[in-house]
Amino acid sequence: MSRKEAQEMNAEKKMSPAECRICSEFANHGYYPQEPETKVDKKHVLLHSCCGPCSTACIERLLPDYKITVFFYNPNITDSEEYEKRKEAQIQFINSFNRRVTDEDKISFMEGEYLPEDFYKVCAGYSNEPEGGLRCTECFRLRMERTAQVAARTGNPIFGTTLTVSPHKNYPLISALGTEIAALYGIEFLDVDFKKKNGFQRSIELSKEYGLYRQDYCGCIFSKRERERLDTITTKSE
């Protein structure tokens, strides 16, 4: 900036004589005062998390634009021991992640009730469904609707889910469910296909980086049996 430009800027902004001198001195050295950045408040989102590993890449992607509260609600998990492993992995990640970010970016944590009977109730009659069938649809609906209920009750205008980071999960179905549920509760669904942009691979990398427990089946007894069946087939073929 030239001295003339600095003087013109001073005149436009009606600076005091002292401010004019400072501006001119900056101009002599090639510097000029910067306008202060306007701080933009982040939107709050209640993010349903199916597990710690899946949440990693989702949180990383959302952090620049959202204030995140993780809602761990998964009554589908086979038993209390497995449930506790997954919950602890979630808390472990959040605690470690929060040590790396500023106070305003820290992630909050909420835990829903672990009531397996709720899962079995909505999935009654679907025990013979394949993985990805109607049983999974009702499981998604149960967890997402509870998230929306809590979001509406706690003043979070937006809810989302980490389910879409998995390549095994049906994004169009989850998107449709989220949109439908959001309309019921008068809030917004954060419609993101987290598996895009290598989201799933990134979740694997971050899980290793943070040393997280990573399960080898979705969560329910039916997915566990399917995993065991596939493992048996693989073993026999070797």
Q: What is the mean pLDDT of the chain?
A: 88
CA distance 164 to 172: 9
Please tell me the predicted confidence (pLDDT) of residue 227: 86
Question: pTM score > 0.85 for this model?
Answer: no
pLDDT single digits (tens) 61-106:
999 999 999 999 999 999 999 999 999 999 999 999 999 999 999 9
Residue 77 sits at φ, ψ, to 5 deg, of -65, 140
Q: Which domains does the chain have, with CATH numbers?
A: 1-37 (no CATH), 43-224 (3.40.50.620)
Give the relative orientation of helices 52-62 and 80-98 as an angle to the nearest 10 degrees: 30
Name which of 9-23, 132-146, 173-187 the model is least confident about.
Answer: 9-23
The residue among 37, 12, 42, 55 whose CA lies nearest residue 164 is 55
pLDDT single digits (tens) 163-212:
999 999 999 999 999 999 999 999 999 999 999 999 999 999 999 999 99
The model's confidence at residue 38, banded by pLDDT at 50, 70 and 90, is low
More confident residue, 9 or 122: 122
Count Cβ atoms within 10 A of the Cβ of residue 169 and give its class: 0-12 exposed, 13-18 middle, 19 or more buried.
Answer: buried
Please tell me the predicted confidence (pLDDT) of residue 5: 53
Give the relative orientation of helices 199-209 and 52-62 as an angle to the nearest 10 degrees: 110
Please tell me the predicted confidence (pLDDT) of residue 102: 97
Please tell me the predicted confidence (pLDDT) of residue 25: 47
Please tell me the predicted confidence (pLDDT) of residue 35: 53
More confident residue, 175 or 16: 175
Please tell me the predicted confidence (pLDDT) of residue 13: 47
